[in-house]
Structure 1
Amino acid sequence: MSSTIALLSPYFGPLPFWMPAFLLSCRDNPGIDWHILSDNPQPTERPVNVFFHHMTLDQFKELISTQLKIQPPLTQSNLIKVCDFRPAFGIVFQDLLHDYRFWGHCDIDVVWGNISSFITPSMLDSYDIITSRYKLLSGSFTLYRNSAPINSLYRSILGFNRLVGNGRHFNVDEKHMSRLIKALSTSSDIRQALYFLGRKRPPRSPRVYWDRILTTSGGYQRQIPAKDSSMKWDNGRVYGFYGEEFMYLHFHKMKNTMKSTNFSYTDSPSRFHINHTGIHHVNQGYAQVPAE
């Protein structure tokens, strides 16, 4: 294995119609492996750096119970709750991750650009946590150094077991982990951190890169006109509708109106557009993959 980074995404239920675009965008990022834990069969065609591990929701719950000693209140009706367990994936999936320098979690309602243009070797040397939002950890992309102190950092979230043991979604991966990091970095008043943590001795403050927005926020997506405006994937790079380059395009606020993708992974188009109707190659000569 030559990849440095592993990105994890548990996904239960039918795969979305935009998977061909997701897979194509993963293909052009050597050095990064995607591991999708899913009850779906592995696609017939996929890039060599995307791995599908067959896992049912019950098996996922059993793994969490074994590794974290917590009974996860996960059902098909509250799958968003899976996100609350993301900060603990370094422990949950430790057998899968032991050869990687970094692990991370990501969404699949994204199209990746040239990740190495944004996440450089010097950043990997300099930081323990790297994310795509400004001063806030992102559920759609956050990297953690694969080390014991960083993998166990989630344990310092006040009330972690209570939060993940409740059936409600508490946004632990973004909100509570961000609060923890900010508390640990409050060097001017360590008592604040100690009070927040409820601990006598806090863990070392991790080195965090969250200095720049690397993707399309919800607000950005809402600005995109419903007609005649698109974001673009072009030969392994992605661009917003103003033409600016991003590390990846997140379309979570647009997907409810998107209907189809008009190409397959094997068609391997060199470019495609993403808009409110779907994901389309500019040449309409491909079979359409509709939404379920």
Structure 2
Amino acid sequence: MKTLLILPYFGTLPNYFDLYLHTVKANPSIDWLLFTDDTTPRDFPPNMQVIHMSWEDMKARMQTRFDIRLNLERKHKLCDFKPAYGYIFENHLDGYDFWGHCDPDIIWGNFDRFIDYDKFEGIDKIFILGHLTLFRNTPENNRRFMEEVDDQLRYRHVLTNRLGFAFDEKFDGSINNIFMEHGWPMFTESFAADIDPYHTNFRLSILDFDTQRYRLDGVKRQIFTWEDGHVYRYYIKQKQLVKEEFLYVHLQKRKMALNLTKPFPQRFLINPKSFDSLDEPITIENFNAHYRHYWFNNQFFKVKYNSLKFRLKYKVYG
């Protein structure tokens, strides 16, 4: 089985994107396709194809696939187009069994450890969150975002409106609602370490599919690492060291200092504000030495302030 992850990103890529590429390279069984206007010289791995183009050219390319006037005034609006990538970029999908969309603010773990295609036989949509979702690559499945939900063609409203609707993940007339209403098979379990953006110290944000609400994971003191292509979380429970593996860690709305030099190591710490070297395995004895704790939650105020600036700039009050 072959999978292609599609990532259109316009503007300056995250300062740690070279580290992102380091974790992409560690997953040779998955291919990536990056569309971007960021021409910073980089050592792209063999499993990532890069197409440099302007934002205006991308908007024109996307418009050719629709008979409605798309609203792409804001680059962030691409989030609403993610479920349509299989249709928009269909000419890039020959030979792939699945395609998907993903984000650049991620450190990838090991895909082969989590993506068992035999387990997903008969499943047309794998995962339900915007930072990573996979779709079975068939002409029918690639057009399901156009299907009705609540007796309306929701995509026509979403893709022509300047506001953001989180059409890629929320349960308010999103692609998830379309699949649910039509009874198309989805895999809804998450393998992500989705870091809550409103806490400086790492807390995992977990979406409960049944209630369609987010909650915080109960672990408050934890360490994340990348080790030989795997993402791990460590924490202490009942005086025992617990080690858990995730498919990836998602660092949404978080600035990270890159305290690593090339060539990047095969083991590093993922701290709340930085990527740092790790010269030894995490043990219960050295856990406290590697754990980073911040007493002031400046992350909350940063996110709220940036959200206010965005709303004022684009007059988004709803």
Normalised TM-score (structure 2): 0.72
Moved more, 41-50 or 105-114: 41-50
Can you list the C-alpha shifts for 1:87-127, whole angstroms capped at 9, x where unaligned?
11111101111221110000010011111111113034332
1:233 and 2:226 aligned: yes
Q: Would the alpha carbon gap of residues 209 and 230 (structure 1) be closer, same or farther in structure 2, given more than 3 Å must change?
A: same
Number of equivalent positions: 248
1:214 and 2:211 aligned: no
Out of 148, 157, 160, which is 2:139 matched to?
Answer: 148
TM alignment of 1:54-203, pairs within 5 A: 54-75=52-73, 78-131=74-127, 137-157=128-148, 158-175=153-170, 176-185=174-183
Q: Residue type matched to 1:238 in 2?
A: V
- Partners of 1:64 and 1:71 within 8 A in 2: no
* Equivalent position of 1:247 in the other structure: 247
- Partners of 1:240 and 1:249 within 8 A in 2: no
Q: Residue type matched to 2:131 in 1?
A: S
Q: Residue type matched to 2:69 in 1?
A: Q
Out of 7, 10, 14, which is 2:8 matched to?
Answer: 10
> Mind listing any 5+ residue stretches in structure 1 that lack a counterpart?
132-136, 186-204, 284-292
Q: Alignment partner of 2:190: what SS?
A: coil
- How far apart, CA to CA, are the structure 2 residues paired with 1:68 and 1:127? 27
- How far apart, CA to CA, are the structure 2 residues paired with 1:127 and 1:221? 33
Per-residue deviation, 1:217? 2.6
* Equivalent position of 2:259 in the other structure: 262
Q: Residue type matched to 1:171 in 2?
A: A
- How far apart, CA to CA, are the structure 1 residues paired with 2:249 and 2:31? 18
- Partners of 2:35 and 2:53 within 8 A in 1: yes
* Equivalent position of 1:21 in the other structure: 19
- How far apart, CA to CA, are the structure 1 residues paired with 2:229 and 2:165? 34
- How far apart, CA to CA, are the structure 1 residues paired with 2:278 and 2:225? 10
Residue identity (%) = 31
Q: Residue type matched to 2:65 in 1?
A: Q
What is the alpha-carbon root mean square deviation over aligned residues?
Answer: 2.2
- How far apart, CA to CA, are the structure 2 residues paired with 1:43 and 1:34? 18
Out of 29, 34, 37, which is 1:36 matched to?
Answer: 34
Q: Residue type matched to 1:251 in 2?
A: L
Q: Relative to total residues, which structure has the larger strand share, 1 or 2?
A: 2
Q: Would the alpha carbon gap of residues 162 and 108 (structure 1) be closer, same or farther in structure 2, given more than 3 Å must change?
A: same
Q: Residue type matched to 1:88 in 2?
A: A
Q: Alignment partner of 1:95: what SS?
A: helix
- Partners of 1:42 and 1:52 within 8 A in 2: no
- How far apart, CA to CA, are the structure 2 residues paired with 1:140 and 1:50? 17
Per-residue deviation, 1:148? 1.0
- How far apart, CA to CA, are the structure 2 residues paired with 1:161 and 1:267? 46
Per-residue deviation, 1:42? 6.1
- Partners of 1:83 and 1:173 within 8 A in 2: yes
Per-residue deviation, 1:37? 0.5
Q: Alignment partner of 1:23: what SS?
A: helix
- How far apart, CA to CA, are the structure 1 residues paired with 2:258 and 2:35? 23
- Partners of 1:224 and 1:241 within 8 A in 2: no
Q: Would the alpha carbon gap of residues 86 and 221 (structure 1) be closer, same or farther in structure 2, given more than 3 Å must change?
A: same
Q: Alignment partner of 1:126: what SS?
A: coil
